[in-house]
Structure 1
């Protein structure tokens, strides 16, 4: 159990922490085995030494410098490293399938919507305000702004700050559209401000764009649209959730 926890913590970190202890020959050995963990984990000490044209004692000394008890522990670490990379590769390979499914789901969802009244609201608006709750949501705001610009609508992208909502409410004209783009739709601060905004003024036609689940923001707006997210593995280490959108006009 200790070994597995340490490996996942991980072998590459141990190498970096002890890199200054290694000579050039040892660095070449460790670079090879880390780049080929699956095949090296299946080799005996003598076979690996023969493959790398080094002595068995050289590999054993390398293990000690890394803080390992011996070659058997290195083999175990390499096996765990190979297994973790294979799991990440399998997860990564599912991205295309998940993206296709999400695309089909969002197309089906948008086809089910009756957007006639929302389109009419766009026609009546002198300005469409786009408020995002984070940098990823701001990318969506920029995308929507571009799409609306292509059909002749004026838009203003608001920075992610509550004060910007207050400023927009002072400058807006009756009938203007306010898009609120939020991943969860459950930000207490944003939702409280939207509730206050509805009490202060009836200028805005409120539209929310959130992830596909029930949320407070959706209940506060006249129109709500959902988008799915797809898990994306980058460099097999970092996961992100990418929003999937279709043109709305």
Structure 2
């Protein structure tokens, strides 16, 4: 738990002197992480034992752990992006840029003429966007089937033929559990569209068509968060391209 949260939990139980110590530490975290306990005690007009007791009241084993907690707070604050809206705009712009380099004509033709269109997403976020994409295709008169789970994907692959079309939505494009199934689809000459973040990966190398989307990373010290909003963008672009064909060109 971070320092501010720890302090907030016990603040009302502290003496006035301890509250003053808390306020100083909160306002000078970067300085405190470089201070020996004796130096901090001197600055606080207190004693080494008082600083140590405060650290223990806050739930730390000692002064070193308190400083480590402060350092984590500083690092976390430093790495959080300050303009998330701008990052989101760039995420969208990059995805549109990737799409502008694609010749959709043959891809849309493959989707249109396919006996069955199979949709498979490798993760929870991808699957949510895939459901919306599936609905868009249905509204355009293109039936399709969402397959969930690696085992189900492997099972249904046995019944597919070269007259079908498979769309796989992934992040890295390197999901180990579907490699055997993808290889089997290739052996049966079943056309595949891979939709992944930009880069060289297994799906890109083993698909007939490729679409890419951009991702945004939010690196925190204890976790690694990736924004995948652009999955929805690239799937919407593909759906709109199909709708243009179905409503105006067919």
TM over 0.5: yes
Q: Quick one: which of 121, 124, 137 aligns to 2:113?
A: 124
Computed over aligned residues only, the root mean square deviation of the Cα atoms, in angstroms, reads 4.0
Counterpart selection for 1:220 from 187, 190, 206: 206
Does the 8 Å CA contact 2:217/2:224 hold for their aligned counterparts? yes
The answer to whether the 8 Å contact 1:40/1:78 transfers is: no
Question: Greater RCO between the two (CA within 8 Å, min separation 6)?
Answer: 2
Pick the aligned partner of 1:87 from 68, 72, 78.
Answer: 78
Deviation at 1:138, TM superposition (A): 1.5
Is residue 134–residue 160 contact of structure 1 (8 Å, CA) maintained in 2? no
Structure 2 Cα separation of the partners of residues 143 and 224 of structure 1:
20
C-alpha deviations, 1:80-105, integer Å up to 9, x for none? 355234314xx231433322222111
Quote how far apart the aligned CAs of 1:179 are: 0.7
Match of 1:164 in 2: 153
TM-score normalised by L of structure 2: 0.68
Q: Write out aligned runs for 1:1-249 (5 A).
A: 12=3, 25-26=13-14, 33=22, 37-38=26-27, 61-65=53-57, 66-69=60-63, 76=67, 80=71, 82-88=73-79, 91-170=80-159, 172=160, 175-199=163-187, 201-202=188-189, 204-232=190-218, 238-243=223-228, 244=230, 245-246=233-234, 247=236, 248-249=238-239
Counterpart contact for 1:125–1:177, Cα < 8 Å? yes
Aligned length: 220
Tell me what 2:247 maps to.
Answer: none
- State the TM-score, normalizing by the size of structure 1: 0.68
Aligned to 1:52: none
Structure 1 residue runs of 5 or longer lacking an equivalent are 1-9, 50-54
* Secondary structure in 2 matching 1:183: coil
Distance of 2:41 and 2:199 partners within structure 1: 54
